[in-house]
Chain A
Amino acid sequence: MNLHSEPIRLLAFLVGIIAFAALNAAYLVWLERKVAGHVQRRIGPKEVGPFGLLQPLVDGIKLMTKQVLIPDNIDPILFRLAPPLLLIPAVMSFVTIPFSETLVARDINLGLLMIFAFASINVLGILLGGWGSNNKYAVIAAARGVSQNVAYEIPMLITVITMVMITHTLNLNEIVRQQGGGIFNWYIFRWSANPLMLISFLIFFTCSLAETNRAPFDLGEAESELVAGYHTEYSGMGFGIFFMGEYANIVIGCSLATILFLGGWQCPFGLWPGVHWFLIKLYILIFTVILIRWTFPRTTIYGLLNLSWKVLIPFALFNLILTGAMIKIWPMIFP
């Protein structure tokens, strides 16, 4: 049997990606609870298995065995369609993520574009879930979620365009390859391309927090205002899928930040590049995301939109123009 035949390769990556997404969702919940516990001077889950490591398994069983309550007067199609619409694009985005130079499901030239195409779909899941639930809190949350996602997609995309102008490619693996040879070749420290690279990274990171509805931007599910936001009416696995989608989106957002700015699978000192470096960087970023959630209070929706339209977008645009100018003018001065 030829292990490199196309159907087997396809199957292997399909199983691998789904397993990676599901395991991440499960164990990021565990990590989140553990980190929250230690931030709050508690222990966190500890009863099920050593260090509570079996907790996600038990939680999953609980979610799957729970009755799926479907309220009256909902839109039956949209209500059922929403959770997969949130999860599937997130899982699909893993297809082009290069975990290492060779470990990538599909090394296509438009990888970056594809991820953003899929990332724009998941907002539809939020909108339909909120709209289909026939619940006022869910509708408010859906409206918030959409305006938030639209507002933050713009500075994020402008920053990504800046990156593409510098890298000249949409191929994620190629972007990582350009960052080889030590920490100062990572784009976050590539001052010669654009002196504001660090701020580009911060804009990108902030936007990915907002895109994934994470605290302090978790306005779509602000539980002290909107009960549970757009998934108020979902129970059992319907809620579970929303949850998995959310964590998959966090992983995607942090993966992109790693690939674009932190050198992906490249090693900081130029030795032994590989999947381990990608995972280390990825989980450091995810850990930061979790830490932010348990440290900051929530912003308000208008504070959030003001931040995007009045601060991030003008700055991202300035950054874009500056980068363009650098690309054109730099070679003229130093040919």
Chain B
Amino acid sequence: MSVLASSDCKETFVLNLGPQHPATHGVLRVKLTMDGEYIRHAEPVLGYIHRMHEKMGENRTWAQFMPNTGRLDYLSALSYNHGYVLAVERAAGIAVPERAEYIRVITVELNRISSHLVWFGAFILDLGGFTPLLYAFDDREIILDLLQAVTGSRLTYCYFRFGGVYNDIEPDFITGTLAFIKRLRERMPMYHNLVTKNIILIKRLKDIGFVPAEMCRKYGATGPVLRGAGVGYDVRRAEPYSVYPELDFDIPTYPEGDCMARYMVRLDEIEQSMRIIEQACAKLPDGPVMAEKAPKIIKPAKGDYYAAVEAARGSFGVRLVSDGTTTPYRLKLRSPSYSNLSLFGEASRGMLLPDALALMGSLDLVIPEIDR
């Protein structure tokens, strides 16, 4: 940090970053108190696309809320489907056939790769590199085509059901997925050569935007932000769900806690997701994709239930309070980006504006998920 940032200059001004700004990727507004180009104080202002998803949940049946979960984080909608389905299944005591579990894992991990690819492109775009975005979208397009064939939609999926998935996958999907993984494996070194090893990129990310583990703990940050601070916390391993315990994958962690660490975590996660998909495709059993005894009308017993999944941006939790009727009594969504954004104010203090925007990009914010 320079002398200027710590100087006692009284002359500051307020800069409204957003709600319409190219770097906030949505309607996020950050009130910045600036001293020249140094940030004295940053205050995120939320609520521009608040849609009351939690309140909506209280007025709909358990099944009717399903489409809402796909509209929280539009980049990795399947993880949010998964979190909600998991919570309801836990509440209603529904067992899921193994084939359905594997299909869930394959599709969720594909969705995670596509989410990270979008982040990769958009993040480099924030840093002023235009080209990688198009390369990443080129790869993502294949994932969207694959998932479209299975789920019927390309972005806001609603594929999982209580007790399984909506429909079975076809053999084409598996061959297509494996072909895609082969292609992405070949392209990952290209991404590293083109982008990761670029001297300008390294200078912009290394030792910039420290988010130490203690700060993550304070604000409840999870996902790649936490793993970029050296803490190997991943819900898939910490509180195993679905068939993840049967699959072999690593949790990439980098102890530096800077933007580069978070960048590397996400790129490594793409590789790990590819490993998971390969194994899941190999192990995919035959059988039904929907539990035969799944009730048509869900009425969970009175109680308080919680389930969490590892979404692309961190730990997504669903807390359900049931009073034994066909609608939830209370439905609380714990979205990772909200916590990840909360630390921005503290982490960006004293930073230069372009570095703060690199930090914001490295947090991978999706605004509809923050506002819910």
Contact = CB atoms under 8 A, between A and B. Distances in A.
A222 B204 CA distance: 14
A218 B133 CA distance: 19
Interface in B117-139: 124-131, 133-135, 138
A35 to B, nearest CB: 11
A225 B358 CA distance: 10
A298 B13 contact: no
Interface string A286-302: 00000001111111111
Interface stretch (B98-106, B260-268, B321-329, B347-355): B347-355
B23 A225 contact: yes
Interface residues on A, range: 20 to 34
Interface stretch (A38-46, A56-64, A97-105, A326-334): A38-46
B135 A300 contact: no
A36 interface: yes
Given A224-B23, A297-B198, A299-B203, A215 B128 contact: yes
A36 B134 CA distance: 11
A146 B22 CA distance: 24
Given A140-B353, A224-B22, A224-B357, A297 B135 contact: no
Sorting the interface of chain B by its residue count into under 10, 10 to 19, 20 to 34 or 35 or more gives 20 to 34
Contacts of A137: 15
Nearest to B356: A225
Contacts of A39: 131
A309 to B, nearest CB: 14
B81 to A, nearest CB: 31
B3 interface: no
Contacts of A140: 37, 353
Given A218-B128, A224-B126, A299-B204, A136 B353 contact: no
A222 B130 CA distance: 12
Contacts of B198: 296-297
Contact of A42 (B15, B134, B200, B355): B134
Contacts of B129: 295-298
Nearest to A302: B352
A222 B134 CA distance: 19
A261 B330 CA distance: 74
A160 B131 CA distance: 34
Nearest to A295: B131
Interface string B18-62: 000111000000000000010000000000000000000000000
A296 B125 CA distance: 10
Given A216-B200, A300-B354, A303-B204, A41 B135 contact: yes
B213 interface: no
A298 B134 contact: no
Contacts of A136: 13, 15
A218 B130 CA distance: 13
A42 B354 CA distance: 29
A125 to B, nearest CB: 22
Contacts of B135: 40-41
A34 to B, nearest CB: 14
A40 B137 CA distance: 10
Contact of B22 (A218, A227, A295): A227
A129 to B, nearest CB: 19
Interface string A268-290: 00000000000000000000000
Contacts of B294: none
A300 B204 contact: yes
A225 B203 contact: no
B201 interface: yes
A2 B201 CA distance: 60
Interface string A207-251: 000000001101000111101000000000000000000000000
Contacts of B133: 40
A36 B355 contact: no
B370 to A, nearest CB: 19
Nearest to B14: A136
A287 to B, nearest CB: 16
Interface string B198-214: 10110110000000000
A294 B128 contact: no
Which are the 10 A-B pairs with shortest beta-carbon distances? Answer: A298-B128, A297-B129, A40-B134, A297-B127, A224-B23, A224-B126, A300-B354, A297-B128, A225-B354, A40-B131
28 contacts: A40-B131, A40-B135, A41-B134, A41-B135, A42-B134, A136-B13, A136-B15, A140-B353, A218-B128, A224-B22, A224-B125, A224-B126, A224-B127, A225-B23, A225-B353, A227-B21, A227-B22, A295-B129, A297-B124, A297-B200, A299-B200, A300-B204, A300-B352, A300-B355, A301-B37, A301-B352, A302-B352, A303-B200
Given A222-B354, A224-B127, A296-B129, 6 more contacts: A137-B15, A140-B353, A216-B128, A224-B126, A294-B131, A296-B198
Interface of A: 36, 39-42, 136-137, 140, 215-216, 218, 222-225, 227, 293-303
